[in-house]
Amino acid sequence: MKTNRLNVLAIMALAIMLFACQGKTPKQAPPPPDAEKPAEVVKGASKGKYTIKSGIVEYKTQMMGMDMKQLLTFDDYGKIEMTEVIMEMTGMKTHSVTLTKDGYVYTYDLVKKTGTKNPFYGGGSQNIDFENMSKEMISDMKLKKVGTEEFLGKKCDKMSIDYDKMKMKGNFLVYKGLALKMETDMGTVKMNLVADKFVENPDIPAGKFEIPADVKITEN
């Protein structure tokens, strides 16, 4: 059972990395007019990770046959972003948070009251930033737009991915840079993440992005 718990926590960490890694990939010089353009995926410069200023998304997530809740809150076009993952299994409750702001990534556990602080450098192969992607990343991920689909009343881009480095295949429904639905297969691990509530451009509650005073943060 302990091994299963560790596996679940590892997968949770992967989910957070996929959807909570903030920032933008480095800007690329514009290609020559006759250069081959790799996709409708390339959007050009944007204000941030998303093209909407703020949002609150409640997700239902299923991995390894287990359900968990995920809450995404962001402001300033994704430059400030918090992802919370909540799960209870065999009497063990987890409530982990990844927060990016002011050039740092904070990862902490609201049950254990401990966490870490690391500089945020942006980019990275695990940062699925649909609005600011280099041609190299699009090519590595084999990321393609395969159509459109309405979801939660929003017209979304339907994206496919075949990412050899992570042995991951899947599909996303993306609205203004925000993944509202995801289905991925990593061989032995299948994950479904579906938004069941999305509030666009809400007023974010005061203090939402503040780390609780009783959480001890260690700087790496």
Position 96 scores a pLDDT of 95
Question: What span, in angstroms and rounded, lies between the C-alpha atoms of 157 and 43?
Answer: 12
Position 129 scores a pLDDT of 86
In CATH, the number for domain 2-27+48-219 is 2.50.20.10
Q: Which residue has the tokens 């300033």?
A: 76
DSSP secondary structure code for residue 53 in this structure: S
Question: What span, in angstroms and rounded, lies between the C-alpha atoms of 162 and 50?
Answer: 23
Reduced to 3 states (helix: H, G, I; strand: E, B; else coil), residue 19 is: helix
Question: What span, in angstroms and rounded, lies between the C-alpha atoms of 122 and 127?
Answer: 8
Q: Residue-wise pLDDT tens for the chain (220 aa)?
A: 444 444 444 444 444 444 444 333 333 344 444 444 444 445 555 688 999 999 999 999 877 777 889 999 999 999 999 999 998 877 788 899 999 999 999 999 999 999 999 998 764 333 578 888 889 989 999 999 999 999 999 999 999 999 998 888 999 999 999 999 999 998 888 889 999 999 999 999 999 999 999 999 999 7
So where are the chain's domains? 2-27+48-219
Q: Which residue has the tokens 């009343």?
A: 153
- How many CB atoms neighbour CB 76 within 10 A? 15
The answer to whether the CB of 211 falls within 8 A of the CB of 115 is: yes
Task: Say if strands 114-119 and 216-219 run parallel, antiparallel, or are unpaired.
Answer: parallel
Position 38 scores a pLDDT of 42
Of the candidates 22, 17, 172, the one whose C-alpha atom is nearest the C-alpha of residue 96 is: 17
Q: What is the pTM of this model?
A: 0.78
